[in-house]
Amino acid sequence: MSSYVSSLDISFEFFPPSTEAGHEKLMRTRDALAERDPRFFSVTYGAGGSTQARTTQTVQAVRECGIDTAPHLSCIGSDKSTLRQLLADYRQTGIRKLVALRGDLPSGMGVPGELRYANELVEFIREETGDHFEIAVAGYPESHPQAPSFERDLENFVRKVKAGADVAITQYFFNPEAYYHFVERATAMGVEVPIVPGIMPITNYTKLARFSDACGADIPRWIRKQLEAYGDDSESIRAFGEEVISRLCQRLLDDGAPGLHFYTLNQADATLKVLDNLS
Ligand code: FAD
């Protein structure tokens, strides 16, 4: 069931590498993924100063291939004048897309800043730059880990979209029902923008388990058990991961998801294999 996917609305997320070797690898990953005609690439942003300059540099390097590249921008730990300057710089260099987030402060570091939540950042971007940027925000089909309840988190999501977002990208999930439920509820509350599923390819169980605990994504028991059983057999983990994620993506697309956003972790192979399996 291998076919080249070109008409699909896809995007790929990268993180800013910290070494020259990491940068070179990212450029190879970008080139391999660029062949799949993505709508955009995006580059994550570290709150609290850890990777902010690297995000800007990485965005400029990634977009040299001619594909729109969206910097992620988080407001926690920042102030309005810093954000204003960053927006002006992005605008001046021709950036048209942003992923707007509250972000997380590294534990024990820094103070929250002038804008407390992503809805305030979206409002600020609109006030400062009008319609210049296409703004994406984050959605959490299984609830944000700090949210007191699903309902409260959904209200906060709706507020953030209504502040001026053009699209939402979800946290990754493995249970499509959680996504359908989230989309249905958000739509019933007046959200009209596309809600694009975030997809995490499975390549390494230990890292996946750690990430998932931190961001509140549920790994269903049957997947967890199977991955645990493979132990150090990374080939079997990858093969099983490819099958699970390909099926998830196919189902989401068949059921009308508006596109797919891949958390690539700067690796091309796992994402390309999933794309090759889609019909
Ligand atoms: P918010 O929408 O502000 O929500 C944060 C919490 O506050 C939620 O519990 C929400 O229910 C609550 N809340 C929201 N608004 C209000 C309000 N007005 N009043 C009271 N409570 C409120 N992190 C990074 O550091 N860098 C990145 O580049 C990055 N990229 C990401 C990309 C995607 C697609 C996703 C899904 C996540 C990304 N993250 C990134 C993680 C994200 O920063 C964290 O999940 C963070 O904890 C929340 O950011 P947010 O924009 O969703 O926050």
Q: Which percentage of the chain shows pLDDT scores above 90?
A: 90
CA pair distance 39, 164, nearest whole angstrom: 20
Distance CA 163, CA 186 (A): 14
Residue 31 phi, psi (nearest 5): -65, -40
- pLDDT digit string, tens, across residues 135-186: 999 999 999 999 999 999 999 999 999 999 999 999 999 999 999 999 999 9
Determine which residue's CA is closest to atom 43 belonging to ligand 1: 103
Could you tell me the CA-to-CA distances from 271 to 27, 64, 199, 239 in Å, in that order?
Answer: 16, 21, 9, 12
Report the distance separating Cα 265 and Cα 200, nearest Å.
9
| Atom 26 in ligand 1: residue holding the nearest Cα | 45
Q: Ligand 1 centroid vs 114 CA: distance in angstroms? A: 15
- Cα 118 to ligand 1 centre (Å): 6
What are the tens digits of pLDDT across the range 251-264?
999 999 999 999 99
Give the Cβ contact number of residue 94 at 10 Å: 8
Banded model confidence at residue 113, pLDDT cuts 50, 70, 90: confident
What is the position in ligand 1's atom list of the atom closest to the CA of 157? 2
Three-state secondary-structure class, residue 135: strand
Q: What is the distance of C-alpha 262 from the center of its chain? A: 7
Reading the block at residue 150, the tokens are 């699903």
For the chain, the structural domain boundaries read 3-277
**Ligand 1 binding site (Cβ under 6 Å of any ligand atom):** 44-47, 72, 74, 99, 101-104, 117-119, 138, 144, 146-147, 152-153, 156, 159-160, 169, 171, 198
For the CA of 170, the closest atom of ligand 1 is: 36
Predicted TM-score (pTM) of the model is: 0.96
User: What are 222's two structure tokens?
Assistant: 């049957």
CA dihedral 155, 42, 203, 211 (to 10 degrees): -40
Distance between CA atoms of 153 and 102, rounded to whole angstroms? Answer: 14
Strand ranges inside 35-123, DSSP E: 40-43, 69-74, 97-101
Q: Which atom of ligand 1 is nearest to the CA of 172?
A: 36
Each residue of 29-48: pLDDT tens digit? 999 999 999 999 999 998 65
| Residue 13: active-site member | yes
User: How far, in Å, CA of 129 to CA of 203, rounded?
Assistant: 39
Domain covering 3-277 assigned CATH 3.20.20.220 in the classification: yes
- 106 to 34, 42, 275: CA distances (angstroms): 32, 21, 34
pLDDT digits (tens, 9 = 90+) for 126-141: 999 999 999 999 999 9
Atom of ligand 1 nearest to the CA of 153: 11
Distance 137 CA to ligand 1 centre (A): 8
d(CA 144, CA 38): 27
Take atom 40 of ligand 1 and give the residue whose Cα is closest.
103
Choosing from 51, 119, 144 the residue with most ligand 1 atoms within 8 A of its CB, the one to mutate for a pocket test is 144
Interval between CA 197 and ligand 1 midpoint (Å): 16
In angstroms, what is the span from residue 203 Cα to ligand 1's centroid? 25
Tens-place pLDDT, residues 189-235: 999 999 999 999 999 999 999 999 999 999 999 999 999 999 999 99
